[in-house]
Structures are given as structure tokens and as C-alpha cells.
Amino acid sequence: GAGVSQSPSNKVTEKGKDVELRCDPISGHTALYWYRQSLGQGLEFLIYFQGNSAPDKSGLPSDRFSAERTGGSVSTLTIQRTQQEDSAVYLCASRPAGGSYEQFFGPGTRLTVL
Amino acid sequence: QQQVKQSPQSLIVQKGGISIINCAYENTAFDYFPWYQQFPGKGPALLIAIRPDVSEKKEGRFTISFNKSAKQFSLHIMDSQPGDSATYFCACKAAGNKLTFGGGTRVLVKP
């Protein structure tokens, strides 16, 4: 079956512009996560959606970052007034309902802020 | 505060050798410890995972050793192959199903 997909795969933007990154999770997966991976670094948790519960936004680095998940499926991560330090790979992962803790990752969106 | 410390940052091993990667954590509430493998241009993929009630788990050439009292766990890759060349991340899960990742180890297996 299809895995997690993300678009665009690459995004180059100018400092101060807004960007939207999209994640299509695996069909039927109830949990969705966003992470940020800076060059040569580990994964930094950003936000977590679980079903219809309020999202866990505890990892968002500033109020310039926001995310939504429509209809319990597709999610969009928005970064307003981008800064050069926002340059990173943004990864989305989804997880099925039930007892499995495995997260299935998409290929990521590489964001470059000039 | 770095909750999960992973070492080494990089590792070079000859084909057929053993790769060992270590992780240490601080939060005793962590209750699930996976290792993820990431190839360039791809997202991480689950390799193997362990719960704190066992001290070792083996799947093929990959083994996790877990020391609860020391709050450490490690990944051993036996008979390393060039196809194992990738970046490996340890992670720890707390309540809420959030993963905290280590900084990653880049492994290069030389033929």
C-alpha cells in the first residue's frame, strides 16, 4: 500500500515569506506527527495529532509555526515569516490505532530559506 | 536539555564486522525504545524496538541490549554489510506516544 507522502519534496523561499508543507498519512492511521531534522542532527518533535483530540503543540519552536489536520487525514504545517534558521528537513509520520508504537515516516520536505 | 544522548556520531566498520551504537537517557518514564534506520533522501524506518521489561532483543543481525538500571541501551549490528550503511537513530517513548530521538550515528560499512 501507499506510504506517507509529503509535498513539496523541496522548497526554496526567501526570508520573511510564508510556506505551507503538506503531509498525506497512510490511510486509516489515526496519529500524525511532524518533526524537524536539521543538517546532521536528530529529529526534533514539533506537533502531534491523535484522532479528534486537541493536538500536542509542545514542540513548536515559536508562534510562527502552526499546523492543522483536516478531516483526520491530511495535515499542513505552516511557517510564517520564515527565517534562515528554519532551514531543515521537515518530516511527517503517521501511526495506526491500537497498540503499535511504530511511526511510519514520509520522505520529508527540504526547506531552504535564503 | 538533551534527554537522549547517542554515541558515536559516526562509525566506520569493515564488512563482516560488528557495529555498536550506544544511547543513554534520563527520563525514567520512558517505556519503549526503538531504533530507526535512515537512508539518504528517505524518512527513518523502524529497525527494531525493545520494552524495558527485557534485557535483550534480537532480530536477524540486529540486537538491542537494554540496561534499565544504567538507563542505557545499545544497537549491535553483526556481520555488517555495505547495505547497512545509513544513519541510525535511537529513540525513547514517554506517555502520549511522543518519541524523543538521539542525535544519530552515521555508519559506513567498507567492503
* Each residue's pLDDT tens digit, A37-89: 998 778 999 999 998 889 999 999 999 999 999 887 999 999 999 999 999 99
Do A21 and A76 form a contact (C-beta atoms < 8 A)?
A: yes
pLDDT, position A2: 83
Quick one: closest CA in A to B33, which residue?
A101
Q: Using the structure block, give the residue that is written with the C-alpha cell 508543507.
A: A21
Tell me the chain A residues in contact with residue B43 when contact means C-beta distances shorter than 8 Å: 4, 91, 93, 105-108
Q: Which of residues 67-96 of A touch B (CB under 8 A)?
A: 91, 93, 95
Q: What burial class does residue A97 get, using C-beta atoms within 10 Å of its C-beta: 0-12 exposed, 13-18 middle, 19+ buried?
A: exposed
Question: Is the pLDDT assigned to residue B58 strictly greater than 60?
Answer: yes
CB pairs under 8 A between A and B: 55
Q: Of B43, B46, B98, which has the smallest distance from its Cβ to A102's Cβ?
A: B46
- Residue B61, pLDDT score: 97
* CB neighbour list of residue B74: distance below 8 Å, 6 or more residues apart: B20, B21, B22, B23, B64, B65
Contacts for A70 with CB less than 8 Å, ≥ 6 apart: A76
Residue of B nearest to A108 (CA): B43
In chain B, pLDDT over 90 holds for what percent of residues? 87
With a pLDDT cut of 70, the percent of chain A lying above it is: 99
Decide if B99 and A91 are in contact by the 8 Å CB cutoff: no
- In this complex, the residue of B42, B45, B98 whose CB is nearest that of residue A48 is B98
Q: Which residue from A97, B47, A95, A85 is spatially nearest to A106, judged by alpha carbons?
A: A95
